[in-house]
Amino acid sequence: MGAIYVVTGANSGLGFATAKALTDRGAHVIMGVRDGNKGREARARLTGGSSEVRVVDLADLDSVRAFADGIERVDVLINNAGVMGLPRTLSAQGFEMQFAVNHLAHFALTGLLLDRIADRVVTVSSTLHKQGRLNFDDLNAEHGYRHGTAYNQSKLANVVFGLELQRRLAETGSSLRSVLAHPGYAATSLQAKTQPGLYRTALLLGNRILAASADDGARPTVFAATDASVRGGQFIGPGGLGEMRGAPRVVKATPAAADPATARRLWSVSEEMTGVRYLSATRSGQVE
């Protein structure tokens, strides 16, 4: 068996393209999927390496904990799954769904698995993180909900988390790496699942005219997860115009994502919301 990768959202879109690229390299991929039947259908289309399907509902932190309990070791955790453009919906624990799935679930999963990860954590964000703002007075979007604003906030949270995790790893002298990636503009099923209306119509039209394929969109994530030259704290994205497509390269996060005070505040709030407290940068989280 090759290196072991955990990929969330691995049954479709960028997650499936990532799983395929990794298994084609001879890796073993644990496919974290919400729907077991769809996961098994996706696994049947993988031709290299080895893989297995395990169910995890990222909208339910109890499911995240159960999923983490079943993993003995992993070389690379890829926090890929996400939701986009939903009407205001709540997770099982009562959190705004985009923030819950895109950030809180992966914050919890990383913390629960941290002492079983051998190499690195890759957290997938978006160029839209640059338009995000962390509204600490209303992270749950109870006032004036706008799905685009909520999505951008969740993607900024991904970047803030990934950079802060690297700081904490470095402070303890850990050899683990926290790396960020984004796909640019890639055509996936994510856009088709957004709230009906002009926003979804524009996204689907953009998929046809501008977007790269899911396979191309997964290239930065695969590079971030496998290349030996990648350093902790780096952000890997497409190298083409506007970071929309192209070969993977190191890109820059918005300066707001690097603010240590903001990161500490988000970390504290995330621990409180998930009930997962990171005991140290080299030991997995404790569930309260």
Query: Which one-letter DSSP state was computed for residue 100?
Result: I
Within 13 A of 42's CA, how many CA atoms are on the CB side?
Answer: 29
User: What residues does 240 pair with on adjacent strands?
Assistant: none
Q: Is residue 133 classed as helix, strand or coil in its secondary structure? A: coil
Phi, psi of 241 (to 5 degrees): -55, 125
Among the listed residues 151, 185, 199, 278, the single catalytic one is 151
**Sign of the alpha-carbon dihedral angle for 261, 265, 271, 274:** negative
Determine the straight-line distance between the first and last CA of the chain, rounded to whole angstroms: 35
Residue 194's CB is within 10 A of a number of other CB atoms, namely 21
| Number of residues assigned to the chain | 288
Q: Is 151 a catalytic residue?
A: yes
Query: Which one-letter DSSP state was computed for residue 173?
Result: T
- Separation between Cα atoms, residue 279 and residue 261, nearest integer Å: 20
Tokens representing 261?
């005070």
Residues annotated as part of the active site: 151
